[in-house]
Amino acid sequence: MTTETENLEQLQIINLSIRAADKWLVEKVSLTLRKGRISGLIGASGCGKSLTCQSLLGLVPRELQVSGELRCGPARVALNNQPALCRSRLPNAGLAIILQNPMSCFNPVYRISYHFRETGKAHGYRRKDNCPARWRELLTDVGIEDPQRVLGLFPFQLSGGMLQRIMIALALMVRADYLLADEATTDLDPVVQAQILDLLETIAAKRNMGVLLVSHDLAVIARLASELLVMKAGRIIEQGTTEELFAAPAHPYTQALLDAHLRLYQFAEMG
């Protein structure tokens, strides 16, 4: 029985493969997300990081073939390219995703309140769970000071950092158990980036949410993730706790990555 409950606290992705007509884009990737833990995923651009995230939500383009399995406790589902809502695949593992460019995630002709209402409706929430009072509460939770005013604004009136906070609020609204942060702080200025990373850390701890932090910047991973997966050309080539990998990277690619990262800091910390 204990193993069963333990299993409910984690989401396993088993043998995820994504294939285009002529080549493997992602090959036999297996990883485990745990509630309340932040896992980092690092790799070069085009190595399949984003596809991996998208495949968990069934958002991979139609022309690609997806295979693999999601497991949470006793429940299992096959991965495919049919879009699925947060909780419809696995009842104990609702997923939400936040992306690099939050501006493109919102419909520019509708106010922020509309996005909350639409998301709630799509998930079948009743009126009392999908009302401005609830939305204001969520916005306060992600550190927005005047939620009433923000709800009435259009996406283009808000900064990238604010929109990213709203994306996280939407993920909280659908009570996602796991959040996929796909380069979520890459385009933000360092001060805002630090704030969003702090927010992700707080939320992971407070709401017992598992986070997959995808980035190409080892500093972001070092700040937040407790375990790290290194991806290259569609495969996971190395994984371990972040401290282990920083102390003793085994794969030459990880070593090169770490060298490039540390070289940046040669002069950076003198200030």
Where do contacts with another protein occur on this chain (CB under 8 A)?
43-46, 159-160, 186-194, 197, 216-223, 225-226, 242-243, 246, 256-257, 260-271
Least distance to another protein, CB of residue 55, Å: 18
Closest C-alpha among 266, 237, 248, 259 to residue 47: 237
What is the token pair recorded at 110? 């509708």
- Rg, C-alpha atoms of the chain: 19
**With respect to another protein, which residue has the nearer C-beta, 137 or 243?**
243
**With respect to another protein, which residue has the nearer C-beta, 78 or 260?**
260
What is the token pair recorded at 207? 């709401």
Q: Report the C-alpha gap between 250 and 244 in whole angstroms.
A: 10
What is the token pair recorded at 192? 């805002």
**With respect to another protein, which residue has the nearer C-beta, 119 or 242?**
242
**With respect to another protein, which residue has the nearer C-beta, 7 or 32?**
32
- Per-residue CA distances from 69 to 13, 57, 155, 233 (Å): 6, 12, 36, 21
Least distance to another protein, CB of residue 131, Å: 34
Residues 6+ apart with CB under 8 A from 232: 43, 44, 47, 253
Least distance to another protein, CB of residue 256, Å: 6
Least distance to another protein, CB of residue 15, Å: 26
Least distance to another protein, CB of residue 152, Å: 21
Say if residues 25 and 48 touch (Cβ distance below 8 Å): yes
**With respect to another protein, which residue has the nearer C-beta, 86 or 225?**
225
Beta bridge partners of residue 12, listed in sequence order? 32, 71
